[in-house]
Structure 1
Amino acid sequence: MDGQLIAFIGVAAGMVAMPGADFTVVVRSALASRRAGVACGVGVAGGLVVHTALAVAGLAAVLIAVPVLYRALQIAGGAYVLYLGVRALGGALRASGGAQADARADTRADTRADTRAGERVAGRALRQGFLTNVLNPKAPVLFLSLLPQFVPDGAAVLPRTLLLASIVVVLALLWFPLVALLVDRLGHWLRRPRTARTVQGVTGGALAALGLSLLSAPLAGS
């Protein structure tokens, strides 16, 4: 394994593990159930597949060349993340009664009792993870600027770029489901009514803040 590839793995691992909207959405889904958390992590990785494919194809350059498209994607992504944040904050505020909070916090029992409900929760989490990542306009631009830095002079560009892109996706497939499993392991404590409301409120606030920050730049520049 060459030195550039080792360096890229370190950079990519740090990039994937960096807390952000993806991380927050996975944590929030994992509080619902292990299946939902893992599904959300897989959805995030699916979004990265789209971004890396765009970067490999060079289509991400269009976002740089056409500011209107980039701004539109920023607004769409920011609005979606803000929506998730407001929804989570609303859920935290509604879960104020003890019995009601218990029913909302311990959804694992619900999913075991109703397989179809569990599948719906996991499917929704998968979509949320995918959309949260794929609507982030900074990701394809980041890949477009990062991947070429690790293509050695004289190397075949397409195979090397595909290898680098695959590494990012594999790291995401390892990291985000691991985060979901760790959250699930702490589930007994995290799903206590008061703790669950606090975590949901914090993650909702973080998502809302991220959504507002994503919206502020394009709206200020328009």
Structure 2
Amino acid sequence: MITAVLAFAGVAALINVTPGLDTLLVVRTSAGQGRRFGVAAALGILSGCVVWSVATAAGLTALLTASHLAYDALRIAGAGYLTWLGISALVRSRRRSAPSPGEASDQVAPDAVPRGWLTAFRSGMGTNLLNPKAGVFYMSLIPQFIPHGAPTFGTTLLLSAVDMVELAVWYWVVSGAAHALSERIRRPSFRRRMEQISGIAFLGFAVNLLVDEK
């Protein structure tokens, strides 16, 4: 069992540090709103992972791999959600007020739309749960590392916990780095550019999800 867990931890770590949608959300939230909100988004993502892991252990995510209709329904819903996130980010980038003539050029422009900790949490959870690839990841990868004769339900939860611990550490590092960067580059233009890049990236992920086929 220990060998299987270590092997899974190595593979999962490589996958987790690969830039993707969830990491982008943590980076963007931490840089634009602060580390506390980036951590909130990360906790939302991890909560989504908990749901996927329990569903995998119970065999529910097999539906995503067996049913084209279920997969497509979740895929389209996820693409719609990502499109909303992308358009919202682009709109916010245009609404950020320019500094007045008497303001210092390096002052941070306030967010045009106040956003709370719970909002960041919901964004993270929604992004993860509406991505069918997350469910397929758990369903396709974890079973390969379950030793012969080991209890499927318990081992699945154990390996899922290993994955989530790695993700928590990764998001903690990423959120800190992104927030530190935003503190060093305290310019309204930087915040606007971050929103623009994030918006385009979210739209790109949405398109990729729409054209994706099992």
When normalised by structure 1's length, the TM-score is 0.85
Q: Which residue in the other structure is 1:25 paired with?
A: 25
Q: Quote how far apart the aligned CAs of 1:124 are.
A: 0.4
**2:169 is aligned with 1:174:** yes
Contact 2:78 2:206 (8 Å CA) reproduced: yes
Distance 1:60 1:190 in 2: 43
Which amino acid in 2 is paired with 1:178? Answer: V
Distance 2:88 2:187 in 1: 20
1:126 is aligned, of 102, 109, 121, to 121
Q: Which residue in the other structure is 1:60 paired with?
A: 61
Q: Quote how far apart the aligned CAs of 1:22 are.
A: 0.8
Q: Which residue in the other structure is 2:99 paired with?
A: 98
Aligned length: 207
State the SS of the aligned residue for 1:186.
Answer: helix
1:136 is aligned, of 131, 136, 141, to 131
Q: Which residue in the other structure is 2:35 paired with?
A: 34
Q: Which residue in the other structure is 2:150 paired with?
A: 155
Contact 1:42 1:176 (8 Å CA) reproduced: no
Q: Quote how far apart the aligned CAs of 1:86 are.
A: 1.1
96-105 or 26-35, larger mean C-alpha shift: 96-105
CA deviations on 1:53-104 (whole Å, 9 max, x unpaired) are 1111110011222211110100001110111111111111222622598332
Distance 1:78 1:169 in 2: 24
**2:8 is aligned with 1:8:** yes
Distance 2:26 2:58 in 1: 28
Q: Quote how far apart the aligned CAs of 1:189 are.
A: 2.8
CA deviations on 1:142-187 (whole Å, 9 max, x unpaired) are 2111111101122222222121011112222222132112211222
Distance 1:42 1:159 in 2: 23
144-153 or 11-20, larger mean C-alpha shift: 11-20
Distance 1:91 1:104 in 2: 11
Distance 2:8 2:81 in 1: 30
Q: Quote how far apart the aligned CAs of 1:134 are.
A: 0.8
Task: Provide the identity percentage.
Answer: 38
Q: Which residue in the other structure is 1:50 paired with?
A: 51
Contact 1:38 1:181 (8 Å CA) reproduced: no
When normalised by structure 2's length, the TM-score is 0.88
State the SS of the aligned residue for 1:104.
Answer: coil
Contact 2:96 2:109 (8 Å CA) reproduced: no
State the SS of the aligned residue for 2:108.
Answer: helix
State the SS of the aligned residue for 1:64.
Answer: helix
Q: 1:207 to 1:4 in 2, by over 3 A?
A: same
Distance 1:190 1:84 in 2: 24
Distance 2:79 2:167 in 1: 21
Q: Which residue in the other structure is 1:111 paired with?
A: none
- Kindly indicate which of the two structures has a greater share of residues assigned to helix: 1
42-51 or 192-201, larger mean C-alpha shift: 192-201
The CA RMSD over aligned residues, in Å, is 2.2
